[in-house]
Amino acid sequence: VGETPFTSVGDALRAPADQTLHLRGWLHRTRSSGGIVFSVLRDGTGLIQVTTKKGSLAEAEFEAAQKALTESSVEVEGTLHDDPRAPGGKEVRASSFKVVSFAENFPITGKETDETLLDVRHLWLRSREMAATMKVRASVLDLLREFYDGAGYTEVHCPTFVTGQTEGGSTLFKVPYFDDEVFLTQSSQLYLETMIFSLGRVYTLQPSFRAEKSRTRRHLTEYWHFEVEAAWYSNDDMMAEEERMLSFLAKRTIERHPAELEVLKRDPTKLKAVEPPFPRVKYAEALELANKKGLHLKWGDDFGYEEEKVLTEGFEKPFFVTHFPKEVKAFYHRLDPSDPKLVLNHDLLAPEGYGEVIGGGERVWELDILLDRIKEYNLSEADYKWYVDLRRYGSVPHSGYGLGVDRLVMYLLGLDHIKWALPYPRMMRRVYP
């Protein structure tokens, strides 16, 4: 607005002293003492201290600076000074202080419970923690695209309204659809599989929906799902590529985001450990390992959040758990030719108790076996006709996976709950704001 060229706070912090600058933003903090007001200005690129002294500017502006509460929006003109005590080592001494909009008493003071912070999520998004998280999250998606575009993949888009389940009926959301009823997608996998025949390698990013009743620290009802599918890939090929992708992500995150990691108190050495090769553990060994650590699991049990937490103890980097019993996994997983009780799959578990971030594997690609599997799972063949068709016209071995973006962000940033990993988490009891 207007003619004045404004400098961003980030640029101001890097500028040499003694310049006159115009800044605008929000009062992150403010206090006045005698004839001086100390404010910290925030604009999305950083924080800078502004001091406003009675007598150095118009009296009305000084009074406005004194009166303006936290989160008021302001425009400031002043000269830049070095000040080692100030955040970022710089201070602006105001020669003009205009309040654009006086904020009411901000409802967040720092003593709120997590529940309250969710109630005022629209305001809590202004916190340094959430801003840092959103920046890293955006960069993670950017890096995923960079990695896969560079590896010969094409980004594609799949529907949200679907007629079939991918990951089991118990977590399907039903929605009215004119005179009919359809579901919200649990995974784009089956649609991705249709596109490998023309594109070879594809990926997509979109929300998936799970009517999860589990109220763990890693379950959302709507989550961001990054999914990959590639023709001619074995389970091992896919795992090898995932290792490269994750270590690329971790390395770049450390390089690009030292300030954000610091705000979130995330120790970058935890991410430095994300280097190939990742350990590969078969389900049977994982079961034994978990039981040695005090659990009482038997063959055929799935690993839930609590079990995975125990299982990740002692691992410094992500690791794969492979060769699950077929009953534990969805119908589309390819049976292990050398032991058809098992499937050629992989779950990638993040260390430090985070657990599953990726689920994937090889797909059944032979027609008769797929038809058997659909029967075995009591699914309607009619619902999957188009999916079965893929096995009729030039089927090939192929693999893929799905990555929970919110879970990945949670792990990379060391967050204690998935609700901190995205702006507006959707959970069983949370759909507002």
Using the structure block, give the residue that is written with the tokens 């609590």. 306
Tell me how many residues contact ligand NSS (CB under 6 A).
Answer: 23
Q: State the Cα–Cα distance between residues 139 and 171, nearest whole angstrom.
A: 30
DSSP string, 126-169: TSHHHHHHHHHHHHHHHHHHHHHHHTT-EE----SEESS-SS-G
Q: Which residue of 129, 212, 237, 372 would you call a contact of ligand NSS, by CB under 6 A? A: 212
Kindly state whether residue 399 participates in binding ligand NSS, applying the rule CB under 6 A.
no
Structure tokens at 300: 């055929």
Q: State the Cα–Cα distance between residues 335 and 285, nearest whole angstrom.
A: 18
Q: State the Cα–Cα distance between residues 422 and 409, nearest whole angstrom.
A: 9
The residue among 70 and 247 lying less far from ligand NSS, judged by its C-beta, is: 247
Kindly state whether residue 350 participates in binding ligand NSS, applying the rule CB under 6 A.
no
Q: How far is the CB of 187 from ligand NSS (least distance, A)?
A: 3
Which stretch, 112-120, 296-304, 388-396, 403-411, contacts ligand NSS (CB under 6 A)?
403-411
Using the structure block, give the residue that is written with the tokens 């007001």. 37
Q: Which residue of 227, 242, 243, 308 would you call a contact of ligand NSS, by CB under 6 A? A: 227
Q: State the Cα–Cα distance between residues 54 and 82, nearest whole angstrom.
A: 21
Kindly state whether residue 307 participates in binding ligand NSS, applying the rule CB under 6 A.
no
Which stretch, 15-23, 41-49, 126-134, 217-225, contacts ligand NSS (CB under 6 A)?
217-225
Phi-psi region of 173 (alpha: psi -120 to 50; beta: other; left: phi over 0): beta
Which stretch, 139-147, 153-161, 316-324, 394-402, contacts ligand NSS (CB under 6 A)?
394-402
The residue among 387 and 401 lying less far from ligand NSS, judged by its C-beta, is: 401
Kindly state whether residue 249 participates in binding ligand NSS, applying the rule CB under 6 A.
no
Kindly state whether residue 329 participates in binding ligand NSS, applying the rule CB under 6 A.
no
* Residue 247 burial by Cβ neighbours in a 10 Å radius (0-12, 13-18, 19+): buried
Residue 4 is inside which H or E element, if any?
none
Which stretch, 64-72, 114-122, 218-226, 232-240, contacts ligand NSS (CB under 6 A)?
218-226
| Nearest CA among 192, 169, 174, 170 for reference residue 184 | 174
| Residue 35 contacts residue 54 (beta carbons within 8 Å) | yes
Q: Which residue of 162, 195, 249, 358 would you call a contact of ligand NSS, by CB under 6 A? A: 358
| Residue 362 contacts residue 196 (beta carbons within 8 Å) | no
Q: Spell out, one character per residue from 62 to 101, where the chain touches ligand NSS: x when CB under 6 A holds, - when not.
A: ----------------------------------------
Q: Spell out, one character per residue from 148 to 187, where the chain touches ligand NSS: x when CB under 6 A holds, - when not.
A: ------------------xx-------------------x
Q: Which residue of 189, 235, 247, 253 would you call a contact of ligand NSS, by CB under 6 A? A: 189
Q: How far is the CB of 171 from ligand NSS (least distance, A)?
A: 8
Torsion, Cα of 69, 71, 74, 78 (10° steps): 80
Kindly state whether residue 237 participates in binding ligand NSS, applying the rule CB under 6 A.
no
> By the criterion CB under 6 A, which residues form the site for ligand NSS?
166-167, 187, 189, 210, 212, 219-220, 223, 225, 227, 356-360, 400-404, 406-407
